[in-house]
Structure 1
Amino acid sequence: MEQEVMQAIRAELESNIDAKYREFHSSLVPGQNCRILGVRIPVSRRIAKATARDHYEVYTEQFNPEVYEELLIRGMMIGYGKLTRAEQTAELDCFVPMINSWGICDSSCATCHFMKKDQEYWYGYLQKWLKSSREYEIRFGVVCLLDFFINEAYIDAVLEEMKKIHHDGYYVKMAVAWAVSICYIHFPEKTQKLLKENSLDDWTHNKTIQKIRESLRISKEEKEMLKTWKR
Protein backbone atom coordinates (compact mmCIF):
# COMPACT_ATOMS: atom_id res chain seq x y z
CA MET A 1 0.00 0.00 0.00
CA GLU A 2 2.69 2.48 1.04
CA GLN A 3 4.82 1.81 -2.03
CA GLU A 4 1.77 2.11 -4.27
CA VAL A 5 1.08 5.56 -2.84
CA MET A 6 4.65 6.72 -3.42
CA GLN A 7 4.68 5.28 -6.93
CA ALA A 8 1.40 7.02 -7.74
CA ILE A 9 2.77 10.39 -6.58
CA ARG A 10 5.93 9.92 -8.65
CA ALA A 11 3.81 8.93 -11.66
CA GLU A 12 1.70 12.06 -11.30
CA LEU A 13 4.82 14.20 -11.13
CA GLU A 14 6.28 12.53 -14.19
CA SER A 15 3.04 13.00 -16.12
CA ASN A 16 3.32 16.76 -15.54
CA ILE A 17 6.90 17.31 -16.69
CA ASP A 18 7.50 20.52 -18.63
CA ALA A 19 10.90 20.26 -20.33
CA LYS A 20 11.21 23.99 -20.97
CA TYR A 21 10.37 24.78 -17.36
CA ARG A 22 12.93 22.18 -16.22
CA GLU A 23 15.63 23.88 -18.26
CA PHE A 24 14.65 27.31 -16.95
CA HIS A 25 14.31 26.29 -13.29
CA SER A 26 17.51 24.23 -13.33
CA SER A 27 19.41 27.38 -14.27
CA LEU A 28 17.96 29.16 -11.21
CA VAL A 29 18.78 26.48 -8.63
CA PRO A 30 22.33 25.30 -9.39
CA GLY A 31 24.07 22.62 -7.37
CA GLN A 32 21.04 20.40 -6.76
CA ASN A 33 21.83 16.91 -5.51
CA CYS A 34 18.35 15.82 -6.65
CA ARG A 35 17.28 15.59 -10.27
CA ILE A 36 14.76 18.24 -11.32
CA LEU A 37 11.81 16.84 -13.26
CA GLY A 38 10.44 20.20 -14.31
CA VAL A 39 6.98 20.28 -12.70
CA ARG A 40 5.54 23.75 -12.39
CA ILE A 41 4.86 25.10 -8.91
CA PRO A 42 1.03 25.21 -9.16
CA VAL A 43 1.02 21.51 -10.07
CA SER A 44 3.39 20.66 -7.22
CA ARG A 45 1.12 22.58 -4.86
CA ARG A 46 -1.92 20.64 -6.05
CA ILE A 47 -0.13 17.34 -5.51
CA ALA A 48 1.15 18.48 -2.09
CA LYS A 49 -2.37 19.46 -0.97
CA ALA A 50 -3.82 16.12 -2.03
CA THR A 51 -0.96 14.19 -0.44
CA ALA A 52 -1.25 16.13 2.82
CA ARG A 53 -4.98 15.42 2.88
CA ASP A 54 -4.91 11.74 1.98
CA HIS A 55 -1.46 10.29 2.66
CA TYR A 56 0.46 12.55 5.07
CA GLU A 57 1.86 9.80 7.30
CA VAL A 58 2.65 7.46 4.41
CA TYR A 59 4.58 10.15 2.53
CA THR A 60 6.61 11.28 5.53
CA GLU A 61 7.36 7.73 6.71
CA GLN A 62 8.38 6.51 3.25
CA PHE A 63 10.14 9.73 2.29
CA ASN A 64 13.37 9.17 0.38
CA PRO A 65 13.55 11.89 -2.26
CA GLU A 66 15.08 11.07 -5.60
CA VAL A 67 13.86 14.18 -7.40
CA TYR A 68 13.63 17.88 -6.49
CA GLU A 69 9.84 17.94 -6.57
CA GLU A 70 9.54 15.18 -3.96
CA LEU A 71 11.48 17.34 -1.49
CA LEU A 72 9.38 20.34 -2.48
CA ILE A 73 6.17 18.44 -1.77
CA ARG A 74 7.55 17.37 1.61
CA GLY A 75 8.01 21.01 2.58
CA MET A 76 4.71 22.26 1.19
CA MET A 77 2.75 19.54 2.99
CA ILE A 78 3.58 21.03 6.38
CA GLY A 79 1.46 24.06 5.59
CA TYR A 80 -1.32 22.06 3.98
CA GLY A 81 -1.66 19.27 6.53
CA LYS A 82 -4.16 19.31 9.38
CA LEU A 83 -1.55 19.35 12.11
CA THR A 84 -1.43 20.57 15.68
CA ARG A 85 1.06 23.27 16.57
CA ALA A 86 3.29 20.66 18.18
CA GLU A 87 3.16 18.56 15.01
CA GLN A 88 3.92 21.58 12.83
CA THR A 89 6.91 22.35 15.02
CA ALA A 90 8.21 18.80 14.86
CA GLU A 91 7.73 18.68 11.09
CA LEU A 92 9.65 21.92 10.57
CA ASP A 93 12.42 20.69 12.87
CA CYS A 94 12.74 17.66 10.61
CA PHE A 95 12.35 19.43 7.27
CA VAL A 96 14.28 22.71 7.51
CA PRO A 97 17.73 21.05 7.72
CA MET A 98 16.88 19.24 4.45
CA ILE A 99 16.48 22.50 2.50
CA ASN A 100 19.14 22.69 -0.18
CA SER A 101 18.01 25.52 -2.46
CA TRP A 102 16.22 28.86 -2.35
CA GLY A 103 13.39 27.36 -4.42
CA ILE A 104 12.63 24.63 -1.89
CA CYS A 105 12.98 27.18 0.91
CA ASP A 106 10.74 29.90 -0.44
CA SER A 107 7.95 27.69 -1.79
CA SER A 108 7.80 25.80 1.51
CA CYS A 109 7.76 29.01 3.56
CA ALA A 110 4.87 30.33 1.51
CA THR A 111 2.55 27.54 2.65
CA CYS A 112 3.18 28.09 6.38
CA HIS A 113 0.14 30.33 6.81
CA PHE A 114 -0.33 28.94 10.31
CA MET A 115 2.39 31.40 11.36
CA LYS A 116 -0.15 34.20 10.95
CA LYS A 117 -1.84 32.78 14.03
CA ASP A 118 -0.14 32.63 17.40
CA GLN A 119 2.59 34.93 16.11
CA GLU A 120 4.35 35.21 19.44
CA TYR A 121 5.03 31.46 19.42
CA TRP A 122 6.16 31.28 15.80
CA TYR A 123 8.34 34.37 16.05
CA GLY A 124 10.09 32.73 18.97
CA TYR A 125 10.36 29.46 17.07
CA LEU A 126 12.08 31.12 14.10
CA GLN A 127 14.90 32.42 16.31
CA LYS A 128 16.85 29.17 16.16
CA TRP A 129 16.90 29.28 12.37
CA LEU A 130 17.82 32.96 12.27
CA LYS A 131 20.74 32.18 14.59
CA SER A 132 21.88 29.13 12.62
CA SER A 133 25.22 29.06 10.81
CA ARG A 134 23.70 27.26 7.80
CA GLU A 135 22.72 29.33 4.76
CA TYR A 136 19.33 27.87 3.95
CA GLU A 137 18.27 27.56 7.57
CA ILE A 138 18.85 31.29 8.02
CA ARG A 139 17.06 32.00 4.75
CA PHE A 140 14.09 29.97 5.98
CA GLY A 141 13.84 32.20 9.04
CA VAL A 142 14.18 35.40 7.03
CA VAL A 143 11.63 34.41 4.40
CA CYS A 144 9.10 33.37 7.05
CA LEU A 145 9.52 36.78 8.67
CA LEU A 146 9.05 38.37 5.26
CA ASP A 147 5.94 36.33 4.49
CA PHE A 148 4.12 36.57 7.82
CA PHE A 149 5.59 39.17 10.20
CA ILE A 150 5.83 42.46 8.32
CA ASN A 151 2.98 44.06 10.23
CA GLU A 152 2.40 46.74 12.86
CA ALA A 153 3.05 44.36 15.73
CA TYR A 154 6.35 42.96 14.45
CA ILE A 155 7.93 45.48 12.07
CA ASP A 156 10.38 46.79 14.69
CA ALA A 157 11.41 43.27 15.65
CA VAL A 158 11.82 42.21 12.02
CA LEU A 159 14.08 45.17 11.25
CA GLU A 160 16.17 44.39 14.32
CA GLU A 161 16.54 40.79 13.17
CA MET A 162 17.75 41.95 9.75
CA LYS A 163 20.43 44.06 11.43
CA LYS A 164 21.69 41.09 13.46
CA ILE A 165 22.21 38.72 10.54
CA HIS A 166 25.83 38.48 9.43
CA HIS A 167 26.40 35.64 7.01
CA ASP A 168 28.35 35.60 3.75
CA GLY A 169 25.98 33.22 1.96
CA TYR A 170 24.53 34.72 -1.21
CA TYR A 171 21.05 33.38 -0.50
CA VAL A 172 21.05 34.85 2.99
CA LYS A 173 22.10 38.27 1.73
CA MET A 174 19.48 38.18 -1.03
CA ALA A 175 16.78 37.18 1.45
CA VAL A 176 17.69 40.04 3.81
CA ALA A 177 17.69 42.54 0.93
CA TRP A 178 14.33 41.24 -0.23
CA ALA A 179 12.86 41.38 3.28
CA VAL A 180 14.10 44.90 3.99
CA SER A 181 12.80 46.11 0.62
CA ILE A 182 9.32 44.80 1.50
CA CYS A 183 9.59 46.41 4.93
CA TYR A 184 10.34 49.69 3.16
CA ILE A 185 7.24 49.45 0.97
CA HIS A 186 4.97 48.95 3.99
CA PHE A 187 6.86 50.94 6.64
CA PRO A 188 9.10 53.43 4.78
CA GLU A 189 10.01 55.71 7.68
CA LYS A 190 11.06 52.88 9.99
CA THR A 191 13.04 51.21 7.22
CA GLN A 192 14.72 54.45 6.16
CA LYS A 193 16.07 54.67 9.70
CA LEU A 194 17.68 51.25 9.33
CA LEU A 195 19.24 52.17 6.00
CA LYS A 196 20.61 55.42 7.40
CA GLU A 197 22.20 53.55 10.31
CA ASN A 198 24.42 51.63 7.87
CA SER A 199 23.54 48.43 9.72
CA LEU A 200 23.75 46.22 6.63
CA ASP A 201 26.94 45.26 4.83
CA ASP A 202 27.60 47.22 1.63
CA TRP A 203 26.44 44.51 -0.76
CA THR A 204 23.17 43.86 1.07
CA HIS A 205 22.56 47.59 1.55
CA ASN A 206 22.98 48.31 -2.16
CA LYS A 207 20.91 45.28 -3.20
CA THR A 208 18.14 46.42 -0.85
CA ILE A 209 18.07 49.86 -2.45
CA GLN A 210 18.06 48.29 -5.90
CA LYS A 211 15.06 46.12 -5.01
CA ILE A 212 13.17 49.05 -3.48
CA ARG A 213 13.80 51.13 -6.58
CA GLU A 214 12.48 48.31 -8.77
CA SER A 215 9.11 48.49 -7.03
CA LEU A 216 6.21 50.09 -8.90
CA ARG A 217 4.89 51.32 -5.54
CA ILE A 218 7.75 53.79 -5.03
CA SER A 219 7.58 57.28 -6.54
CA LYS A 220 10.12 58.51 -9.08
CA GLU A 221 11.29 61.18 -6.63
CA GLU A 222 11.80 58.63 -3.88
CA LYS A 223 13.74 56.35 -6.23
CA GLU A 224 16.07 59.22 -7.06
CA MET A 225 16.58 59.95 -3.37
CA LEU A 226 17.37 56.31 -2.64
CA LYS A 227 19.87 56.24 -5.47
CA THR A 228 21.99 58.75 -3.56
CA TRP A 229 22.07 56.40 -0.56
CA LYS A 230 24.00 53.68 -2.37
CA ARG A 231 27.54 53.07 -1.13
Structure 2
Amino acid sequence: MTQASEEIRTRLFALQDREYQAFNAKLLPTLPSEKIIGVRMPLLRKLAAEYRGTETAAAFLSDLPHQYCEENHLHGLLICGLRGYDETVAALEDFLPCVDNWATCDLLSPRAFRSHPDALPGQIRLWLDSGRTYTIRFALGMLMQFYLDDHFDPQWLDWAAAVQSEEYYVNMMVAWYFATALAKQPEATLPVLETNRLSPWVHNKTIQKAIESYRISPEQKAYLRTLRRKTAGTAVPKGR
Protein backbone atom coordinates (compact mmCIF):
# COMPACT_ATOMS: atom_id res chain seq x y z
CA MET A 1 0.00 0.00 0.00
CA THR A 2 1.33 3.42 -0.95
CA GLN A 3 1.81 6.31 1.45
CA ALA A 4 -1.10 8.05 -0.26
CA SER A 5 -3.41 5.10 0.40
CA GLU A 6 -2.29 4.93 4.02
CA GLU A 7 -3.06 8.63 4.44
CA ILE A 8 -6.52 8.27 2.90
CA ARG A 9 -7.34 5.17 4.93
CA THR A 10 -6.44 7.02 8.12
CA ARG A 11 -8.70 9.91 7.07
CA LEU A 12 -11.56 7.50 6.36
CA PHE A 13 -11.32 5.79 9.73
CA ALA A 14 -11.29 9.19 11.42
CA LEU A 15 -14.74 9.74 9.85
CA GLN A 16 -16.10 6.36 10.93
CA ASP A 17 -19.67 6.14 12.24
CA ARG A 18 -20.20 2.69 13.75
CA GLU A 19 -23.99 2.90 13.71
CA TYR A 20 -23.87 3.79 10.04
CA GLN A 21 -21.41 0.93 9.47
CA ALA A 22 -23.93 -1.54 10.89
CA PHE A 23 -26.73 -0.01 8.82
CA ASN A 24 -24.66 -0.10 5.63
CA ALA A 25 -23.64 -3.70 6.20
CA LYS A 26 -27.32 -4.69 5.88
CA LEU A 27 -27.60 -2.84 2.57
CA LEU A 28 -24.53 -4.50 1.10
CA PRO A 29 -25.03 -8.23 1.62
CA THR A 30 -22.35 -9.16 -0.93
CA LEU A 31 -19.64 -7.63 1.29
CA PRO A 32 -18.24 -8.92 4.60
CA SER A 33 -19.10 -6.37 7.29
CA GLU A 34 -15.42 -5.95 8.16
CA LYS A 35 -14.85 -4.41 4.70
CA ILE A 36 -17.21 -1.53 5.52
CA ILE A 37 -15.77 1.36 7.56
CA GLY A 38 -18.99 3.32 7.92
CA VAL A 39 -18.48 6.77 6.36
CA ARG A 40 -21.49 8.76 5.20
CA MET A 41 -21.61 9.80 1.55
CA PRO A 42 -21.60 13.60 2.11
CA LEU A 43 -18.30 13.21 3.99
CA LEU A 44 -16.90 11.04 1.21
CA ARG A 45 -17.88 13.64 -1.38
CA LYS A 46 -16.23 16.35 0.69
CA LEU A 47 -13.05 14.26 0.97
CA ALA A 48 -13.07 13.62 -2.78
CA ALA A 49 -13.37 17.36 -3.44
CA GLU A 50 -10.41 17.99 -1.12
CA TYR A 51 -8.15 15.45 -2.86
CA ARG A 52 -9.30 15.96 -6.45
CA GLY A 53 -6.40 16.87 -8.75
CA THR A 54 -3.70 16.26 -6.15
CA GLU A 55 -0.66 14.00 -6.35
CA THR A 56 -2.11 12.04 -3.43
CA ALA A 57 -5.26 11.32 -5.43
CA ALA A 58 -3.23 10.22 -8.46
CA ALA A 59 -1.20 7.83 -6.31
CA PHE A 60 -4.34 6.50 -4.65
CA LEU A 61 -6.01 5.88 -8.03
CA SER A 62 -3.03 3.82 -9.16
CA ASP A 63 -3.02 1.67 -6.02
CA LEU A 64 -5.55 -1.10 -6.70
CA PRO A 65 -7.19 -3.15 -5.37
CA HIS A 66 -8.42 -1.46 -2.20
CA GLN A 67 -9.39 -3.24 0.99
CA TYR A 68 -12.42 -1.26 2.16
CA CYS A 69 -15.72 -0.33 0.58
CA GLU A 70 -15.28 3.36 1.31
CA GLU A 71 -11.89 3.34 -0.39
CA ASN A 72 -13.67 2.10 -3.49
CA HIS A 73 -16.39 4.71 -3.04
CA LEU A 74 -13.76 7.45 -2.83
CA HIS A 75 -11.94 6.01 -5.83
CA GLY A 76 -15.16 6.14 -7.84
CA LEU A 77 -15.88 9.72 -6.80
CA LEU A 78 -12.38 10.78 -7.85
CA ILE A 79 -12.91 9.17 -11.26
CA CYS A 80 -16.21 11.03 -11.61
CA GLY A 81 -14.32 14.29 -11.21
CA LEU A 82 -11.80 13.66 -13.99
CA ARG A 83 -12.18 16.05 -16.91
CA GLY A 84 -10.71 14.11 -19.82
CA TYR A 85 -12.72 11.45 -21.61
CA ASP A 86 -9.76 9.19 -22.39
CA GLU A 87 -8.31 9.40 -18.90
CA THR A 88 -11.75 8.65 -17.44
CA VAL A 89 -12.16 5.54 -19.59
CA ALA A 90 -8.63 4.40 -18.73
CA ALA A 91 -9.28 4.88 -15.01
CA LEU A 92 -12.54 2.94 -15.26
CA GLU A 93 -10.84 0.10 -17.15
CA ASP A 94 -8.53 -0.30 -14.17
CA PHE A 95 -11.24 0.18 -11.54
CA LEU A 96 -14.35 -1.63 -12.78
CA PRO A 97 -12.88 -5.15 -12.32
CA CYS A 98 -12.38 -4.23 -8.64
CA VAL A 99 -15.97 -3.06 -8.03
CA ASP A 100 -17.67 -5.62 -5.78
CA ASN A 101 -20.98 -4.07 -4.72
CA TRP A 102 -23.97 -2.19 -6.14
CA ALA A 103 -23.38 0.99 -4.12
CA THR A 104 -19.91 1.68 -5.53
CA CYS A 105 -21.18 0.81 -9.00
CA ASP A 106 -24.18 3.11 -8.85
CA LEU A 107 -22.36 6.20 -7.57
CA LEU A 108 -20.34 6.32 -10.79
CA SER A 109 -21.49 9.18 -13.03
CA PRO A 110 -18.38 10.48 -14.81
CA ARG A 111 -18.59 14.14 -15.70
CA ALA A 112 -16.41 13.64 -18.79
CA PHE A 113 -19.04 11.41 -20.38
CA ARG A 114 -21.58 14.21 -20.64
CA SER A 115 -19.67 15.92 -23.44
CA HIS A 116 -18.84 12.79 -25.46
CA PRO A 117 -22.20 11.26 -26.44
CA ASP A 118 -20.86 9.91 -29.76
CA ALA A 119 -17.78 8.16 -28.37
CA LEU A 120 -19.31 6.55 -25.28
CA PRO A 121 -21.64 3.92 -26.83
CA GLY A 122 -18.75 1.96 -28.30
CA GLN A 123 -17.16 1.74 -24.86
CA ILE A 124 -20.48 0.82 -23.26
CA ARG A 125 -20.77 -2.05 -25.75
CA LEU A 126 -17.40 -3.40 -24.57
CA TRP A 127 -18.46 -3.16 -20.93
CA LEU A 128 -21.75 -4.92 -21.64
CA ASP A 129 -19.75 -7.79 -23.15
CA SER A 130 -17.27 -7.97 -20.26
CA GLY A 131 -18.92 -10.85 -18.38
CA ARG A 132 -18.35 -9.04 -15.06
CA THR A 133 -21.42 -8.41 -12.91
CA TYR A 134 -20.76 -4.83 -11.84
CA THR A 135 -19.14 -3.79 -15.12
CA ILE A 136 -22.32 -4.86 -16.91
CA ARG A 137 -24.46 -3.11 -14.31
CA PHE A 138 -22.38 0.05 -14.76
CA ALA A 139 -22.76 -0.11 -18.56
CA LEU A 140 -26.53 -0.39 -18.23
CA GLY A 141 -26.47 2.54 -15.84
CA MET A 142 -24.62 4.64 -18.42
CA LEU A 143 -27.26 3.78 -21.05
CA MET A 144 -29.92 4.86 -18.57
CA GLN A 145 -28.19 8.10 -17.53
CA PHE A 146 -27.07 9.38 -20.91
CA TYR A 147 -29.13 7.72 -23.67
CA LEU A 148 -32.82 7.89 -22.79
CA ASP A 149 -33.26 11.58 -23.61
CA ASP A 150 -31.69 13.67 -26.38
CA HIS A 151 -29.34 10.91 -27.53
CA PHE A 152 -31.87 8.10 -27.49
CA ASP A 153 -31.72 5.44 -30.18
CA PRO A 154 -33.88 2.28 -30.21
CA GLN A 155 -30.75 0.18 -30.61
CA TRP A 156 -29.87 0.91 -26.97
CA LEU A 157 -33.07 -0.93 -26.01
CA ASP A 158 -31.85 -3.88 -28.07
CA TRP A 159 -28.53 -3.84 -26.26
CA ALA A 160 -30.16 -3.88 -22.85
CA ALA A 161 -32.72 -6.53 -23.82
CA ALA A 162 -29.92 -8.79 -25.04
CA VAL A 163 -28.25 -8.89 -21.61
CA GLN A 164 -28.66 -12.43 -20.28
CA SER A 165 -27.55 -13.06 -16.73
CA GLU A 166 -28.31 -15.09 -13.64
CA GLU A 167 -26.95 -12.32 -11.42
CA TYR A 168 -29.47 -10.43 -9.30
CA TYR A 169 -27.65 -7.10 -9.52
CA VAL A 170 -27.47 -7.27 -13.30
CA ASN A 171 -31.11 -8.22 -13.72
CA MET A 172 -32.27 -5.54 -11.31
CA MET A 173 -30.45 -2.95 -13.40
CA VAL A 174 -32.00 -4.27 -16.62
CA ALA A 175 -35.42 -3.88 -14.99
CA TRP A 176 -34.56 -0.42 -13.69
CA TYR A 177 -33.37 0.59 -17.16
CA PHE A 178 -36.56 -0.55 -18.87
CA ALA A 179 -38.82 0.96 -16.19
CA THR A 180 -37.08 4.29 -16.79
CA ALA A 181 -37.29 3.80 -20.55
CA LEU A 182 -41.04 3.23 -20.23
CA ALA A 183 -41.31 6.66 -18.62
CA LYS A 184 -39.06 8.47 -21.08
CA GLN A 185 -39.51 6.56 -24.35
CA PRO A 186 -42.79 4.64 -23.95
CA GLU A 187 -43.62 4.11 -27.63
CA ALA A 188 -40.25 2.53 -28.36
CA THR A 189 -40.10 0.55 -25.12
CA LEU A 190 -43.57 -1.01 -24.82
CA PRO A 191 -42.98 -3.47 -27.68
CA VAL A 192 -40.09 -5.00 -25.70
CA LEU A 193 -42.62 -6.08 -23.09
CA GLU A 194 -45.43 -6.84 -25.52
CA THR A 195 -43.22 -9.30 -27.41
CA ASN A 196 -41.74 -10.90 -24.24
CA ARG A 197 -38.12 -10.10 -25.06
CA LEU A 198 -37.06 -10.08 -21.41
CA SER A 199 -36.81 -13.05 -19.06
CA PRO A 200 -40.01 -13.53 -17.01
CA TRP A 201 -38.36 -12.29 -13.80
CA VAL A 202 -36.91 -9.15 -15.42
CA HIS A 203 -40.14 -8.56 -17.36
CA ASN A 204 -42.27 -8.58 -14.21
CA LYS A 205 -39.75 -6.61 -12.17
CA THR A 206 -39.76 -3.95 -14.91
CA ILE A 207 -43.53 -3.70 -14.68
CA GLN A 208 -43.41 -3.55 -10.89
CA LYS A 209 -40.87 -0.72 -10.89
CA ALA A 210 -42.78 1.17 -13.60
CA ILE A 211 -46.05 0.89 -11.67
CA GLU A 212 -44.27 2.28 -8.60
CA SER A 213 -43.01 5.27 -10.60
CA TYR A 214 -44.74 8.66 -10.42
CA ARG A 215 -43.64 9.27 -14.03
CA ILE A 216 -45.98 6.60 -15.39
CA SER A 217 -49.62 7.64 -15.90
CA PRO A 218 -52.50 5.69 -14.32
CA GLU A 219 -53.60 4.61 -17.81
CA GLN A 220 -50.13 3.30 -18.61
CA LYS A 221 -49.98 1.46 -15.29
CA ALA A 222 -53.33 -0.22 -15.95
CA TYR A 223 -52.08 -1.47 -19.31
CA LEU A 224 -48.78 -2.65 -17.87
CA ARG A 225 -50.64 -4.77 -15.35
CA THR A 226 -52.19 -6.71 -18.24
CA LEU A 227 -48.70 -7.59 -19.50
CA ARG A 228 -47.57 -9.43 -16.38
CA ARG A 229 -46.34 -12.95 -17.05
CA LYS A 230 -46.74 -16.12 -15.04
CA THR A 231 -43.46 -17.00 -13.35
CA ALA A 232 -44.17 -20.34 -11.67
CA GLY A 233 -40.91 -22.24 -11.48
CA THR A 234 -38.83 -19.21 -12.48
CA ALA A 235 -35.79 -18.87 -10.26
CA VAL A 236 -34.88 -15.59 -8.60
CA PRO A 237 -31.52 -14.44 -9.99
CA LYS A 238 -28.60 -15.28 -7.73
CA GLY A 239 -26.37 -12.79 -5.97
CA ARG A 240 -28.89 -11.05 -3.77
TM norm structure 1: 0.90
Given that 1:115 and 1:122 are in contact with CA atoms closer than 8 Å, whether structure 2 keeps it comes out as: yes
Percentage identity across paired residues of the two chains: 31
Given that 1:51 and 1:59 are in contact with CA atoms closer than 8 Å, whether structure 2 keeps it comes out as: no
Given that 1:19 and 1:38 are in contact with CA atoms closer than 8 Å, whether structure 2 keeps it comes out as: yes
Give the drift of 1:164.
1.1
CA-to-aligned-CA distance 1:6-53 (integer Å, 9 cap, x gap):
344223322322223222221121232561011112221221222222
Describe how 1:165-204 pairs up with structure 2 within 5 A: 165-204=163-202
Given that 2:82 and 2:111 are in contact with CA atoms closer than 8 Å, whether structure 1 keeps it comes out as: no
Given that 1:130 and 1:138 are in contact with CA atoms closer than 8 Å, whether structure 2 keeps it comes out as: yes
Given that 1:36 and 1:69 are in contact with CA atoms closer than 8 Å, whether structure 2 keeps it comes out as: yes
- Bigger shift: residues 119-128 or 207-216: 119-128
Aligned with 1:151 (options 143, 149, 152)? 149
Could you tell me how far apart the structure 1 residues matched to 2:19 and 2:220 are? 39
Could you tell me how far apart the structure 2 residues matched to 1:147 and 1:42 are? 21
- Bigger shift: residues 53-62 or 187-196: 53-62
Give the drift of 1:206.
0.2
Q: Which residue of 2 aligns with 1:30?
A: 29
Could you tell me how far apart the structure 2 residues matched to 1:201 and 1:64 are? 34
Bigger RCO of structures 1 and 2 (CA < 8 A, at least 6 apart): 2
Could you tell me how far apart the structure 2 residues matched to 1:159 and 1:7 are? 43
Go from structure 1 to structure 2 and tell me whether the alpha carbon gap of 1:218 and 1:23 turns closer, same or farther (over 3 Å shift): same
Could you tell me how far apart the structure 2 residues matched to 1:78 and 1:125 are? 16
| Superposed CA RMSD | 1.8
- For the residue of structure 2 that corresponds to 1:166, the secondary structure is coil
Give the drift of 1:139.
0.7
- For the residue of structure 1 that corresponds to 2:213, the secondary structure is coil
Given that 1:139 and 1:175 are in contact with CA atoms closer than 8 Å, whether structure 2 keeps it comes out as: yes
Given that 2:80 and 2:111 are in contact with CA atoms closer than 8 Å, whether structure 1 keeps it comes out as: yes
Q: AA paired with 2:206?
A: T
Given that 2:183 and 2:216 are in contact with CA atoms closer than 8 Å, whether structure 1 keeps it comes out as: yes
Could you tell me how far apart the structure 1 residues matched to 2:57 and 2:64 are? 10
Q: AA paired with 1:216?
A: Y
Give the drift of 1:141.
0.7
Describe how 1:71-86 pairs up with structure 2 within 5 A: 71-82=72-83, 84-86=84-86
- For the residue of structure 2 that corresponds to 1:165, the secondary structure is coil
Given that 1:56 and 1:81 are in contact with CA atoms closer than 8 Å, whether structure 2 keeps it comes out as: no
Q: Which residue of 2 aligns with 1:134?
A: 132
- Structure 2: runs of 5 or more not aligned: 230-240
Could you tell me how far apart the structure 2 residues matched to 1:204 and 1:63 are? 34
CA-to-aligned-CA distance 1:58-105 (integer Å, 9 cap, x gap):
2123455221101111122111134x3222221111011111111111
Give the drift of 1:193.
1.6
Q: Which residue of 2 aligns with 1:39?
A: 39
Q: Which residue of 1 aligns with 2:235?
A: none
Could you tell me how far apart the structure 2 residues matched to 1:166 and 1:219 are? 29
Go from structure 1 to structure 2 and tell me whether the alpha carbon gap of 1:44 and 1:141 turns closer, same or farther (over 3 Å shift): same
- For the residue of structure 1 that corresponds to 2:53, the secondary structure is helix
Describe how 1:212-227 pairs up with structure 2 within 5 A: 212-227=210-225
Whose helix fraction is larger, Structure 1's or Structure 2's?
A: 1
Give the drift of 1:125.
0.8
Give the drift of 1:163.
1.4
- For the residue of structure 1 that corresponds to 2:118, the secondary structure is helix
- For the residue of structure 2 that corresponds to 1:120, the secondary structure is coil
- Bigger shift: residues 44-53 or 94-103: 44-53
- Bigger shift: residues 59-68 or 191-200: 59-68
